[in-house]
Amino acid sequence: MMNIISVPAVCKVQASSVVNFKKGLSMDPFFHQHHHKDKVVIILGATGSGKSKLAIDLATHFAPAEIINSDKMQVYQGLDITTNKVTEEECLGVPHHLLGIADPNLDFTAADFIRHASSAVDSIIDRHCLPIIAGGSNSYIEALVPDFETGRPVDFCFLWVDVSLPVLHSFLTDRVDRMVEAGLIEEVRQMFDSRADYTKGIRKAIGVPELDQFLEAELSSTADERTKKKLLEAAIARMKINNCRLASRQLQKIHRLHGLWKRNMHRLDATEALIMRNNGEESKEVWENQVVNKSRRIVHKFLYEESHVVPAAMSSKTVLYMPPPRRPPLSRLVATVTATH
């Protein structure tokens, strides 16, 4: 069983984070009370496409909502810059689960993810909040969805944040430079161990194995500054290549999943917003119009059925989410199912 570190994590859920409905508010106009399926929103996309940002945008709109991280490197404690975890400021007060909670020296498997994500979903729904799952590890999502569906009736809404690969590759290349400037090298240096296993835990994260030769040279008494500089430049170049390769693999996987979940998966094109960001232009309005507003309409329809779909010019005001009546906790059902395998 995976060990979980009991340390504070970025955007960790706390009691004060839970939002309660105001007494006396009538939710009848917003939800069919006879609907008995739990609702879960899942956001997919290649690394750098804007999944975390969209998740937070939606969580603040469909309040109260909470986010479950499904990125297999961000689940580990440490290397916040290297794994590109959202900061406390970026969270905008939205509670996050499975973010920086796992022992970095041990593997956090798909089975671990299913167990902890299922428990988080139960906890979120029990507190009358909307669960939003977001992250780049599609293998986690592919493993989780069948377990949910086996356990009990669940409605899923899949949002796919898509970006043209050449545009995304350009963004990822620039992002590596920004991460290096933000302290990635020092962050990896602090946990460097020449005897470490790069096939286990957080050391699989892009940025860690690539820096091995450079950090080894730093400890050597024979490597000169010129050699170390070349090794660092080569390491950064490999980070950029490996990030682009990761994005390409993730996109291939999403296309396959789209074939399985096509009826419930909605593609959102964030290419133009990322082009503007790559060019240093203000992209907020384009992001809002082409990604956020479309997502809000899709999720609103998903949550409140056809009779409650808002028009295209939907208000940007927060929509209070009222979940359907609870079924038995998913974690118990998932435990029963997994025990038979």
For 168-215, what is each residue's pLDDT tens digit? 999 999 999 999 999 999 999 999 998 899 999 999 999 999 999 999
pLDDT exceeds cutoff 90 at 331: no
Tokens of 197: 């296993």
Residue 49 has pLDDT above 80, yes or no: yes
Per-residue pLDDT band at 52 (split at 50, 70, 90):
very high
pTM of the model: 0.82
Q: Does domain 171-240 have CATH number 3.20.20.60?
A: no
pLDDT for position 208: 97
Q: What digits encode the pLDDT tens for the residues 25-34?
A: 333 334 434 4
Tell me the average pLDDT of the chain.
83
pLDDT of residue 280: 82
The residues near 110 (Cβ < 8 Å, ≥ 6 apart) are 139, 140, 143
- For residue 52, CA distances in Å to 20, 96, 207 come to 24, 11, 20
Percent over 70 (pLDDT), the chain: 79
Give the pLDDT score at 194.
87
C-alpha dihedral, 22 to 330 to 112 to 104, nearest 10° = 10
CATH of 30-164+264-330, one of 3.40.50.1370, 3.40.50.300, 3.40.50.620, 3.30.470.20: 3.40.50.300
Beta bridge partners of 162: 269
d(CA 15, CA 309): 32
Return the pLDDT at 281. 84
65-69 and 96-97 as β-strands: parallel, antiparallel, unpaired?
parallel
Distance CA 171, CA 283 (A): 14
CA geometry: angle 130, 135, 140, nearest 5 deg: 95
Q: Domain coordinates of the chain in residue numbers?
A: 30-164+264-330, 171-240
Q: What is the pLDDT of residue 326?
A: 55
